[in-house]
Structure 1
Amino acid sequence: MRNQDRLPKIKLRLEYDVPLVLGPGKAELLTLIDRLGSISAAGREMGMSYKRAWSLVEEMNAAFAEPVVDSSRGGSGGGGATVTANGQQVLRLYRALEKMLADQGAEEIRALNSLLK
């Protein structure tokens, strides 16, 4: 298969003034927290430290009007994390934008591919 026949992956990156960059990494982190119920487990799955994963969650929680992740401290009963209703909406909207770019931009992506070596 030639390069021109393969469509590239779209990686949407939204840069806000609040300081927040919302991109594929944070979207994946939210997805994994939702599935695994844990910030540390989500971070491990992505190959990052708990500190880094927690830092990304804090950045998102600080930027949005309502938190995207709710967490409880560990201890004898164990901790945990859940993606809030607001976080679910953020993730849904982000994924919808990705799909829209892929679907509605397919012609332009093919045209760009045709210009490759």
Structure 2
Amino acid sequence: MPQKKPLKLTGRIWLETEDGPVLGSGRVELLERIQQSGSLRQAALQMKMSYKQAWDMIKHMNEQLGGPVIVAQRGGKGGGNTIVTENGLKAIVLFHSCQKLFHDFLKDNQPKS
């Protein structure tokens, strides 16, 4: 007879409005990669997504969070640069705070074997 395997409570968290997801692990990772690389295009490549898909995610966050989460500066001697705005940094912190609360909840509420 097969041995009974214990159940485990798990899940993912994202923040959304009635218009759909605004912040989740993928969108926050995108912002963090932009912050590290200074480039939306580079962040999209690192995440194996198209530039259009990345830009659409950024555009949606901008609309739902009440302002830009990144600012792109074009061209120049060394090329362009993209920075994560204060609004974007707040979104990252908010998501990680919510995610920690969620993981603490999961840890504290695992089913008894």
Q: What's the counterpart of residue 13 of structure 1?
A: 14
Measure the CA separation in 2 of the matches of 1:64 and 1:103. 26
User: Normalising by structure 1, what TM-score?
Assistant: 0.79
Q: What's the counterpart of residue 64 of structure 1?
A: 65
* Per-residue deviation, 1:105: 3.0
Q: What's the counterpart of residue 54 of structure 1?
A: 55
Identity %: 35
Measure the CA separation in 2 of the matches of 1:6 and 1:74. 50
Greater shift, 34-43 or 77-86, is seen at 77-86
User: Normalising by structure 2, what TM-score?
Assistant: 0.81
Question: Number of paired residues?
Answer: 109
Q: What's the counterpart of residue 87 of structure 1?
A: 88
Contact 2:38 2:83 in 1 (8 A): yes
Q: Which has the larger radius of gyration?
A: 2
Contact 2:9 2:106 in 1 (8 A): no
Q: Higher helix share goes to which structure?
A: 1
1:99 aligns with 2:104: no
Q: CA RMSD, aligned part only? A: 2.3
* Per-residue deviation, 1:3: 6.1
* Per-residue deviation, 1:85: 0.9
* Per-residue deviation, 1:20: 4.2
Measure the CA separation in 1 of the matches of 2:37 and 2:93. 18
Q: What's the counterpart of residue 35 of structure 1?
A: 36
* Per-residue deviation, 1:80: 1.7
Measure the CA separation in 2 of the matches of 1:26 and 1:107. 27
* Per-residue deviation, 1:76: 5.3
Structure 2: where are the runs of 5+ without partners? Answer: none
Greater shift, 33-42 or 48-57, is seen at 48-57
Structure 1: where are the runs of 5+ without partners? Answer: none
CA gap of 1:14–1:76, structure 2 versus 1, over 3 A, is: same
